[in-house]
Amino acid sequence: MTEQFVAELRRRATIYWEKHPFQQAMLAGELAPDAIRAFVSNRWYYQASLPRKDAAIIANCPVPAVRRRWLERIAYHDGAAEGEGGMADWLALCDAVGLDRADVLDPEKVLPGVRFAVDRYSAFAREASWVAGVASSLTELFAPDLMGRRIEAFRTHYPWIDPAGLAYFEKRCVQAPREAGHALEVVLEYARTAEQRAACADALTLKCEVLWAMLDALDHAYRGHR
């Protein structure tokens, strides 16, 4: 039963965004600098939503052991101090691609489709069962090499980007499999009924749709910029 469930989760993740034309163009080195910059600045809106998304999952979770581990995600993104953590690393990437920090931080500059998608994900974390919230984070489990491929693509095809700005991706190569492994353990332990498991699979589909919709918005806005 467990193998079947994991296979179903994997199947749900097959629409994962690495297959998206914009993502493929990025990995193939086909994006113009302003398309790369648009990806990095719009993705900031997603990155900045993560600590609150994870806190919403903790707020819904009655299991101290799960909360304790999940707390590490918030600490990972917010960092131990100002200028540290995943969000600071993403802002360093923003600097490295030549974005103006004030523009990045201005939510008015985010593409509407990106905002709608991220806001839907945040709302889901608040409103869904905490186990489904955990399951929605599993995308990284089924795309373990995406970060590595992205780093290689950035180094190879976009030499104008200072490699020091890639620290976010480099750290994710270590952190993402660890987080995803824990999330899968939690889902397998706490999603026991068919209904709970269906909700987890649907949560993963939703998350893929969110990531996909973000790239749709970018693709349509920057289609000619290759």
Q: How far is the CB of 122 from a copy of itself (least distance, A)?
A: 9
Identify the DSSP state of 110.
S
**Residue 167 Cβ, how far from a copy of itself at the closest point, in Å?**
18
Q: Which of 74, 94, 186, 187 binds a copy of itself (CB under 8 A)?
A: 74
Inter-residue contact 46 to 116 (CB < 8 Å): no
Q: Which of 68, 155, 220, 223 binds a copy of itself (CB under 8 A)?
A: 68
Binding mask 160-189 for a copy of itself (x = CB under 8 A): ------------------------------
Q: How far is the CB of 101 from a copy of itself (least distance, A)?
A: 14
Q: Any idea how long the chain is?
A: 226
Q: Which residue among 22, 23, 44, 78 contacts a copy of itself (CB under 8 A)?
A: 78
Question: 3-class secondary structure for 60-97?
Answer: HCCCHHHHHHHHHHHHHHHCCCCCCHHHHHHHHHHHHC
Smallest separation (angstroms) from a copy of itself to the CB of 21: 32
Among 65, 123, 164, 194, binds a copy of itself (CB under 8 A): 65
* Amino acid type, 222: Y
Contact assessment for residue 21 and residue 216, using Cβ atoms and an 8 Å cutoff: no
Q: Does 109 bind a copy of itself (CB under 8 A)?
A: no
Degrees to nearest 5, angle at CA 146 with 38 and 21? 50
